[in-house]
Amino acid sequence: MDLFIIDDHTTHYLSIKTGEESFLGKITGIVFLIFTPPFLIMALLFLLSGDWEDALLPFAVAVTVFPISFLWESRKHLPPPILFNRRTREVYFNHRGELFHTPWDDIQAIAYEFKIFSPHTGSLQSAALEILIRRLGEPENALMLSLGLPMGKNLTMQKSLWEYLRSYMNNGPWFNEHGNHSESDEYIKEQLAFDARPSTFLGHQLKTVAEEKEAANGKPYPNSTNIILLVGFFLLHPASLIEDRIYKIAKRRSSNHWPEIVLERLRPDGPTTRLIDLERERGLDV
C-alpha cells in the first residue's frame, strides 16, 4: 500500500506525493453528479412538454455550475512532491517556498513504530519513516520529513518503502523483486499496476466479477455485494474521471513551482552537480 504515494517513477527521478492532492477534484465530481445530468434531464422534460421558459433555468444551472467548479479546482496548485534524483543522488523538498535538500549518500533516516490510544477508537497501530533534510543556504535549518502518513502502517511496511527507495537510488531505475538491478521495468510496472484512484475502481470490480464467474464454472453465483459495488462504481465513474482530469491539470500547473536549480537537474541532460557541493563552493541560496 505504500506504493500508492509514489507519483512518478522515471529513469532519472522518483516523486512521492505529499498527501494534499487526495481530495482535489472531488467537489467538482460531486457537483457534476448533482447538477449536470439531473438538471439537463429536467430541462429536457420541460422542452418535451413545450414549456420553453421553465426549461431555461435548469439548463442554465446544468451548463454553468460544473464549468465554474472545474475551473476553480483545476487552477489550484498541488504541493510539490518529495523528489529523489538518481542523476545527482539527492533528495529535494519544497517547504512553503523554501528549498530543502540532502545528499543521498549521506542521508539520515529513521523508522519507528508507535501506538495512538483513544477511548473512542482503542489502540491504533502507526509507524513513521522520516529523513533529515536541510534548508539550502542555511544547513543549520533542518527538518525531519515524513515519507507518507504513518497512520495505519507498521514497521515492516515502512521498511519495505525504504527498501524500494534504496533499490531505486542504488540499483535502479529498474530492479527485480530482490532489489537487484534489472534491464526490464516489468517488476516496477507490476508493483505500480494497482492504482488507488477512484477511476480505477470500476475496472477492478469488473475484473473481480469476471474472475468469480470463471471460478464458478458457469454455475449461478449470486453475490449481492459485488452487484451493489459494480452499480455504485458505475454511477460514480464519471465523477472519478473528472477528478483524475483535474488532478492532471493541477499537477502540470504546479510543476513549475520548483526553482530552476532543481528543474534543470530533473532533465535527462541536465547538470549532475549536487546542491550541497554548490552550496559549499558558492554559499548558494534561493
Question: Average of pLDDT values for 160-189?
Answer: 92
Given a contact cutoff of 8 angstroms between Cβ atoms, the answer to whether 92 and 47 are in contact is: no
Identify the pLDDT of residue 283: 63
Amino acid identity, residue 26?
A: K
How far apart (Å, rounded) are the C-alpha atoms in residues 132 and 140? 11
203: phi > 0 → left, psi -120 to 50 → alpha, else beta; which? alpha
111 DSSP β-pair partners: 129
Identify the pLDDT of residue 243: 86
Question: Average of pLDDT values for 12-21?
Answer: 80
Q: Measured in whole angstroms, how far is the alpha carbon of residue 183 from the centre of its chain?
A: 26
Q: Identify the three-state secondary structure at position 100.
A: strand
Q: Which cell goes with 151? A: 497512520
Provide the terminal-to-terminal Cα distance of the chain, rounded to the nearest Å: 35
**Cβ neighbours of 110 (radius 10 Å):** 11
Question: Average of pLDDT values for 131-158?
Answer: 89
Identify the pLDDT of residue 3: 61
- What is the DSSP pairing of strand 6-9 with strand 98-103? unpaired
